[in-house]
Amino acid sequence: MIERSAQGVRVPALGFGTSRMVGDECRNGVEHALALGYRHIDTAQGYGNEREVGEGLARSGVPRDEVWLTTKLKPEWFGAADAAVKTEASLQALGVDYVDLLLLHWPNENVPLEETFAALKPLVDHGRVRHLGVSNFTPTMTRAARSLAPVLVNQVEYHPYLHQRFLLDVMHDLDMLLTAYCPLAQGEVVSDPVIMEIADAHGKTPAQVALRWLLQQPRVTAIPKAASAKHREANLGALDFNLREDEMVALFDLESERRLVNPTFAPTWERT
Q: Which amino acid, one-letter code, is at 144?
A: A
Cross-sheet strand order for the sheet of 129-135? 16-17, 40-42, 68-73, 99-104, 129-135, 153-157, 177-181, 220-222
Average pLDDT of the segment spanning 44-69: 98
**Does residue 261 surpass a pLDDT of 70?**
yes
Are β-strands 3-6 and 9-12 bridged in parallel, bridged antiparallel, or unpaired?
A: antiparallel
Set 38, 47, 158, 181: catalytic member: 47
Output phi, psi for 78, to 5 deg. Answer: -80, -15
Average pLDDT of the segment spanning 144-173: 97
Taking only the tens place, the pLDDT of each residue in 217-226 is 999 999 999 9
Is 47 considered catalytic here? yes
Q: Is residue 54 part of a domain?
A: yes
Q: Could you tell me how far CA 263 lies from the centroid of its own chain?
A: 18
Q: Is residue 261 part of a domain?
A: no
Question: In which domain, by residue range, is 91 found?
Answer: 3-188+217-227
Q: Is residue 159 part of a domain?
A: yes
The per-residue pLDDT of the chain, averaged, comes to 97
Can you give the CATH number for the domain in which 130 is found? Answer: 3.20.20.100
Q: Which helix (H) or strand (E) holds 157?
A: strand 153-157
Q: Is residue 242 part of a domain?
A: no
Under a CB-based contact definition with an 8 Å cutoff, are residues 14 and 215 in contact? yes
pLDDT value, residue 272: 63
- Using 50, 70 and 90 to split pLDDT, how confident is the model at 59? very high
Could you give the number of structural domains in the chain? 1
pLDDT value, residue 36: 98
- Sorted by sequence, the CB contacts under 8 Å of residue 84 that are 6+ apart come out as 119, 120, 122, 123
Taking only the tens place, the pLDDT of each residue in 107-142 is 999 999 999 999 999 999 999 999 999 999 999 999
Q: Is residue 199 part of a domain?
A: no
Taking only the tens place, the pLDDT of each residue in 2-11 is 999 999 999 9
Q: Is residue 20 part of a domain?
A: yes
Q: Is residue 132 part of a domain?
A: yes
Q: Is residue 91 part of a domain?
A: yes
Q: Could you tell me how far CA 7 lies from the centroid of its own chain?
A: 17
Point out which residues pair with 4 in neighbouring strands.
Answer: 11
